[in-house]
Structure 1
């Protein structure tokens, strides 16, 4: 027991979060990152953290990145259904809502139905863990603000998002809060980092300040704004900011370190 306590103390003194139930990796604020969901993963990008697709990324790529000192985060769509995924048949028809406007083949989920969605999300988390990933980037975590076809409330969203965080942590995975900036004050304590799209363009970067104040990383991406325009503002907030194209290929333009 003494040896176990010593090991736990050493882990908790590093970039690992610890609770009575286990531990998981937590990114350091200011860590550089790459966000690639399309094409062969370009492992030459000089980023500390890679966010890549859960289903489309080979385990060998995950292992190679980690052997090179990188951390790897699995992207999964938590709040919406994607018809091309290998587990698409696991989603009951009754939880499938309206299509997402910009993304063919995607439909919002009825996140009120935790009884039906928790087994599917748990299986995805388990696949992420078994593939060797360090953490999870769950997308579409703000369905209560969207035209989903369901009467989803803010409280429904909090329950679902907290379930996602719990499922990740139960498997030793860190977990990020994707967008959902309106609920940051309620969720910052349960998520290990934030992943944000377009907070500069949407004039809402200040809503992520609780993550920075808590010493947690904020991974931020803009699509339609030049780095010269947004980098001074977001790096001053302590964010790790990059610019990408909407197809999220291998191209990478990072803000210079402050």
Structure 2
């Protein structure tokens, strides 16, 4: 689960005003361009699409920390930090903003079930479809262009907040809701919404990360426009190669203490793991709490 004005000022100062202006126009018109698809350029077995010149990708091979359960001081060795959109970015590192793009956030029921009930996916009895692993999160209904555009506007506000706070990138969680929708949603539905999110992020000079969903292959990049990947347990599930084939070295992996496939030092020594691989406790609690664990390769 840097400031936009500063970026524009910097662009103007360096003579890159056109890039900044076009970026803003892209964010404003993203809803109307839902079906646009990036054209993949194959390079060997890896697919690349051109990323906007205004975004910065995560630094290769640097240590990362995944602080979604609470912010805390960053270790000196860490150069990449992910935090929730309600937090502020860590200073002096590459900062990734977590946004739940395809499900409701805990405690945000009224926004969806009361104010926008038609955007909540329903079963045959009209009941909201709930994520079985997160019973306080509704699955959002991505099944039509009109609904996707409305969801994009609502979630887009969180993406813009990330930009205003100074984050360098966003990661959009729960892309895989099609897999627990009992056939009510499709991969195409979610990729179409993901492209709206990517357009908005790029329009605010932020990179955007694909969260999990190794089964998409190159589609996350070529259809949605993701720039890098944030994976959970790709070593455990032997999926790291699928992400590397698409995103090359721009893969950040989090393994969890309660389900390791091998001791973490052996994982770090293994050939197939991403260059940026970390170990965290499952609940991602803040440093100082009893269950806190953080290690990096």
TM-score (structure 1 length as normaliser): 0.80
Q: Give the gaps of 5 or more residues in structure 1.
A: 9-16
- Measure the CA separation in 1 of the matches of 2:14 and 2:81: 33
Deviation at 1:149, TM superposition (A): 5.5
TM-superposition CA deviations, 1:62-81 (whole Å, max 9, x none): 2xx33xx2111111101111
In structure 1, the partner of 2:141 is 110
Q: Does 1:162 align with 2:180?
A: no
Deviation at 1:198, TM superposition (A): 1.2
Q: Does 1:182 align with 2:218?
A: no
Find the structure with the greater CA-based Rg: 2
Deviation at 1:249, TM superposition (A): 2.0
- Measure the CA separation in 1 of the matches of 2:168 and 2:109: 22
In structure 1, the partner of 2:70 is 39
Instruction: Give yes or no for contact 1:29–1:212 (8 Å, CA) kept in 2.
Output: no
Q: Give the gaps of 5 or more residues in structure 2.
A: 1-11, 20-49, 122-128, 287-292
TM-superposition CA deviations, 1:41-85 (whole Å, max 9, x none): 233363101000101x1x4xx2xx33xx21111111011112414
Greater RCO, 1 or 2 (C-alpha within 8 Å, sep 6+):
2
Deviation at 1:107, TM superposition (A): 1.6
In structure 2, the partner of 1:13 is none
Question: What is the 5 A alignment of 1:27-176?
Answer: 27-44=58-75, 46-55=77-86, 57=87, 59=88, 62=89, 65-66=90-91, 69-85=92-108, 88=111, 92-97=116-121, 98-112=129-143, 113-146=147-180, 148=181, 151-176=184-209
- Measure the CA separation in 1 of the matches of 2:198 and 2:14: 29
| CA pair 96-252 structure 1, distance change in 2 beyond 3 A | same
TM-score (structure 2 length as normaliser): 0.70
- Measure the CA separation in 2 of the matches of 1:124 and 1:2: 28
Deviation at 1:91, TM superposition (A): 6.1
